[in-house]
Structure 1
């Protein structure tokens, strides 16, 4: 039988504050200072280049080259933005990029989800063989000429499909998605749904996809970035300038502005130096214009990105 004295003795150690040595008391504040200091330095290293690009895009290029633009813009001018948005090809390229990004992301995410779920099913005949064939493509490539001939024979040259279809499925993303399904969709869950009369399609659309929101957002973010920044496939497969995406148009504008004083209203400039000055403005302005959409969208999806990447890449 427990006596009141024993009970009191058993509770006193729990109520008493823990004694800390002087070293421990000094270590906690020091650790906090060092940690927050490193975080602040890291944020500064990441954020300042972005901030510098913004202020450089509205500053006098001569002052930027002289190193006089550090924290605040100087010689403020919006000629770079006026030149970009005053050209119809830039606006059309922006709309083309939006279309290519939306269509390409939908196609890629759909194909990866269907393919990964099938490869995650252990009762799928030949799934190991299919996986080997997919992995082989990660190490061996037919090359640019072979891809061009395939796109040409399929009749996709100078069309949107030449931009969004050749790289629609990334094998690494397929592996991540397959691992996610294997770890989060147990065979017992599928068997329970089958006992309730659910078909494979109903299980996939009614149970698997709702449980895969982090994976879907992860795949969508990866392909949004890839499709938005892509220009090489468009440069190879598209010949009609009205179908060029934004990145390809901005690339061509930058090359033209640095090479000569012609194009993009530069014919009225008096010297090559003036054209180079405009080229510097265009360079920074185009970086801002092309990255703003992604910077706006990503903070809202970051938590899904981290969760999806962790669940898809690590084994619990």
Structure 2
């Protein structure tokens, strides 16, 4: 009997000393992750459920998580609004052209800053880092854009924001991690700097460029403040400005443009129309992000492990 008690105590002591702390830690981490997933996922499910539920159910407040009474008439009403598709086209133009130019100029800026033999390397690194803490401000930036004649033009959404100092630093660090022997051997073979950049540096930092592309694209896609400053013409405004008008100002224009009047318009919930617009605006990001997800961890772990 005493031997059994001693064995149980020794087993309990080993369990508490060796595995109990790790198990408790793992359980806490998993619970926190599960809580974070629920907190993050619930708003998306709620917005989607509101958008496809019946207008009467939304008006009564019956929708909590899952859709109540499927109804897609509001999607038809919103999608008949021509301004939605004009804004979509503008956003795709600003995102595609702007992101491409961002990546090009980021690589061009980061490459010389990563070369140790570049004599202005330290000074330019200082000036670029300086802009991360101090800037000219909103009014001088507005004066520059208007002075260059970019106001009410598509280039007002692209040219003033070609570079992000933080992203240039990330790209520079990625290029610095490339062995210098590769650059020296390419130079001995007669390759110039542009050939080294295009054929050696860029192919070797594709994971980092994928992450920077995601950062730039999301920022371009969600940008509405600069459009509010520099774009007065409705036909040039991006999707986020359309959402601002729909979510903050009013939703009646959508109903009128779609020809929904009288009883048909009254039957539609204003809240539902707003959530339908949110779902339509979120779809492109949800579709594109999974294709870049595999590069996200590689890019964000840049410099975490030193050999």
TM range (shorter): 0.7 to 0.9
Q: CA deviation at 1:213?
A: 0.4
Summarize deviations over 1:265-308 as a string: whole Å, max 9, x none.
5883479x949x64211221111111111111111211212211
Is 2:218 the partner of 1:221? no
- Residue number among 81, 84, 99 corresponding to 1:87 in the alignment: 81
Determine the structure 2 residue equivalent to 1:157. Answer: 151
For 2:143 and 2:35, locate their aligned partners in 1 and report how far apart those are by CA, in whole Å: 50
Q: CA deviation at 1:260?
A: 8.7
Summarize deviations over 1:170-213 as a string: whole Å, max 9, x none.
1111111111111x223222112223332222211111111010
Is 2:41 the partner of 1:47? yes
For 1:56 and 1:48, locate their aligned partners in 2 and report how far apart those are by CA, in whole Å: 12
For 2:254 and 2:288, locate their aligned partners in 1 and report how far apart those are by CA, in whole Å: 36
Is this contact kept in 2: 1:257–1:263, CA < 8 A?
A: no
Is this contact kept in 2: 1:79–1:281, CA < 8 A?
A: no
Equivalence map 1:110-259=2 (5 Å)? 110-182=104-176, 184-257=177-250
- What is the TM-score of this pair, normalised by structure 1? 0.82
- What is the TM-score of this pair, normalised by structure 2? 0.84
Q: CA deviation at 1:225?
A: 0.4
For 1:147 and 1:83, locate their aligned partners in 2 and report how far apart those are by CA, in whole Å: 39
The CA RMSD over aligned residues, in Å, is 2.9
For 2:128 and 2:31, locate their aligned partners in 1 and report how far apart those are by CA, in whole Å: 45
Q: CA deviation at 1:126?
A: 1.7
- Give the 3-state SS of the residue equivalent to 2:118 in structure 1: coil
- Residue number among 99, 106, 116 corresponding to 2:93 in the alignment: 99
Greater CA drift, 25-34 or 35-44: 25-34
For 1:151 and 1:157, locate their aligned partners in 2 and report how far apart those are by CA, in whole Å: 6
For 1:290 and 1:151, locate their aligned partners in 2 and report how far apart those are by CA, in whole Å: 28
Which runs of 5 or more residues in structure 2 are unaligned? 1-12
Greater CA drift, 205-214 or 246-255: 246-255
For 2:37 and 2:228, locate their aligned partners in 1 and report how far apart those are by CA, in whole Å: 35
Determine the structure 2 residue equivalent to 1:310. Answer: 301
- Residue number among 270, 285, 288 corresponding to 2:276 in the alignment: 285
Q: How many residue pairs align between the two structures?
A: 293
For 1:269 and 1:284, locate their aligned partners in 2 and report how far apart those are by CA, in whole Å: 22
Q: CA deviation at 1:84?
A: 1.8
Q: CA deviation at 1:51?
A: 1.1
Greater CA drift, 139-148 or 205-214: 139-148
For 2:210 and 2:44, locate their aligned partners in 1 and report how far apart those are by CA, in whole Å: 25
Greater CA drift, 217-226 or 37-46: 37-46
Is this contact kept in 1: 2:77–2:255, CA < 8 A?
A: no
Greater CA drift, 50-59 or 261-270: 261-270
Q: CA deviation at 1:28?
A: 7.3
Determine the structure 2 residue equivalent to 1:59. Answer: 53
Assess, with a 3 A threshold, how the Cα gap between structure 1 residues 55 and 125 changes in structure 2: closer, same or farther.
same
Is this contact kept in 2: 1:254–1:279, CA < 8 A?
A: no
